[in-house]
Chains A and B, each alone.
Chain A
Amino acid sequence: MKWSVWVVLFFASVTSQGCASIYKPPQPWERDILAQDKMLIGGDPLEIQIDDKITFSKEASSIGRSIGGGGCGCN
């Protein structure tokens, strides 16, 4: 639990400082770039899904950016 507190504090600090300088929210008519397929947060879903499955099978960190989707008795 101690780890989690430090990590949350770290991210809060970095995010608040970083965002202050780069936070320039676009107007609704300025979202053409964000609307592109290649800007989908997280990247190509098929790619991420495969990568998550491989790493789930080969590493001990059995939880990631998403939940659900089925399990396996992987070797």
Chain B
Amino acid sequence: MQLKQKKSLTEALALATCSLLSQAPQNAMATATEGDWDFDVSMLNYQEADARVRVVELDINSKWQRKDDSALSFKVVSDSMTGATPSGASKVAGAQSQTSTTASGTVVASDVGEAAGKFLDPLVDFVDRRNGFVVDWENVFARTITTNLGGAYSVEDDYSSMGVNGSAGIDLNNKLTRVDVGLAWTWDTVSPSVAGGPPPEGEIVGGRLFSYDDGHKLIVDKSVGVTQVLNRRTVTKLTYVTGTTDGYLSDPYKLVTVHNDVSDLPKSYYYEKRPNTHARDALNLELMHQMAGGAVFNGYYRFFWDDWDISSHTLDMRYRIDLGASQYIQLHGRYYTQTAADFYHARLTEADERNLPEYMSADYRLDELTTTTLGIKYGFNFSQFGHFRIRYETMEQQGTTGDYTQLKAKILHAAVTVKFGR
């Protein structure tokens, strides 16, 4: 019985060897002339409650996986952004509007405030479009070293961004450990549609303080990450990311309101002003673990801190449960909490105005706040090479001070991936 088994094993190996040898020339030809293509199409509808911001985004990705272990990726993105966003002007019951809509913000009238009997709108309507593309070229050397070179460009009605990035990774320890390093430069320009030129950083009534040339910022980010396989079902990754941003960092549409100490009505308005440098750091820990039944737990924690006195904690968890061989659902929960920037002022007093802070912003995103996100996703593989998924999420943000401390949003996101050439 044992001899018979050995004989059949030998025959099987011989047959397999012959089969491989006979196919080798065909594979060699295929390597030279063919590659695999992956296509992704992704559609997002993001809608905030109370007619705040709405974003519709279309992403189309294609990846050409060449058989010489290199890959070329292209991505095209198109956004449409509409709705209303808080300007920083305080709410005044029954006040008449003194603002008008532009491509992405507001034209601010002069002579406003309590004395003039005119107040600025706390919510500003805007319409904006964003189109961009991203390219990435990946190479693998000696099966253990991976390099990526990429570039990105996007343009909005009043904003443009261009960047280059590079990264390299090496597999170590019999491919149980991987170390990645990355570097990215991004050059952004804001050219707001405010009459008379951009970035006003000071009192509204009076001359503009800066010219268009001052609307630039340079972002340099660096990262180092270590991925470690812990066991047959678990892999983890620790990434440290550090970045600096230099240049014009204010939001040219955001205001800060000074209130009358007695009447509590808005007395005057100022454009916000942020420091022109920003140093940021983040430590990210990720974990993927597959349960015995095939369910997958994905945990993510981030600790962020910067030199604006903001620190934050993010906990993100996804749990995927397979429904048979081709379908699954995934539950998602995320909790985020941050401290306020040291120059955040929901409003200013008359005493503040007499001795204006060097930097000030009433942007609610710089306030102390928490965000809670809950979502569910359904996906199915419609063939061996096709994957469709759709998810619905709700996001709720709770700030601490200011007129707009609560934000609710609904997120609908669908995507399909198709692989050719396999």
Contacts and interface: CB of A to CB of B under 8 A. Distances in A.
Interface residues of A, number: 51
B305 A4 contact: yes
Interface of A: 3-4, 7-8, 11, 15, 19, 22-26, 28, 30-31, 33-34, 36-44, 46-47, 49-51, 54-55, 58-75
Given A23-B230, A55-B371, A70 B304 contact: no
B234 interface: yes
B229 A47 contact: no
B154 A71 contact: yes
B241 A64 contact: yes
Q: Is the interface of B mostly helix, strand, loop or mixed?
A: strand
Nearest to B242: A63
A65 B281 contact: no
Given A50-B42, A55-B336, 5 more contacts: A33-B233, A41-B288, A51-B334, A70-B153, A70-B163
12 contacts: A7-B303, A11-B283, A15-B236, A30-B232, A42-B237, A60-B341, A61-B338, A63-B221, A63-B243, A71-B163, A71-B219, A72-B130
A16 to B, nearest CB: 12
Contacts of B174: 25, 28
Contacts of B338: 59-61
Contact of B300 (A22, A23, A65): A65
Contact of B415 (A24, A41, A46, A54): A46
Nearest to B381: A37
* Shortest 6 CB-CB contacts between residues of A and residues of B: A68-B165, A73-B159, A70-B152, A68-B184, A71-B161, A67-B221
Interface of B: 40, 42, 44, 46, 53, 57, 59, 61, 77, 79, 81, 83, 85, 104, 126, 128, 130, 132, 134, 150, 152-154, 156, 158-159, 161, 163-165, 174-176, 182-184, 186, 188, 190, 219, 221-223, 227-239, 241-243, 245, 278, 280-286, 288, 290, 296, 298, 300, 302-306, 308, 310-312, 314, 318, 320, 328, 334, 336, 338, 341, 365-366, 369, 371, 377, 387, 389, 391, 395, 397, 407, 411, 413, 415, 417
A9 B3 CA distance: 59
A39 B298 CA distance: 9
Contacts of A75: 53, 81, 83, 85, 104, 126, 128
A49 B79 CA distance: 14
Contacts of A51: 334
Contacts of A64: 241, 282, 284, 302
A5 to B, nearest CB: 11
Most chain-A CB neighbours within 10 Å: which of B230, B242, B282, B285?
B230
B234 A65 contact: no
A67 B81 contact: no
Nearest to A32: B232
B281 A70 contact: no
A36 B232 CA distance: 12
Contact of B232 (A31, A44, A58): A31
A7 B283 contact: yes
A51 B1 CA distance: 60
Contacts of B104: 73, 75
B397 A65 contact: no
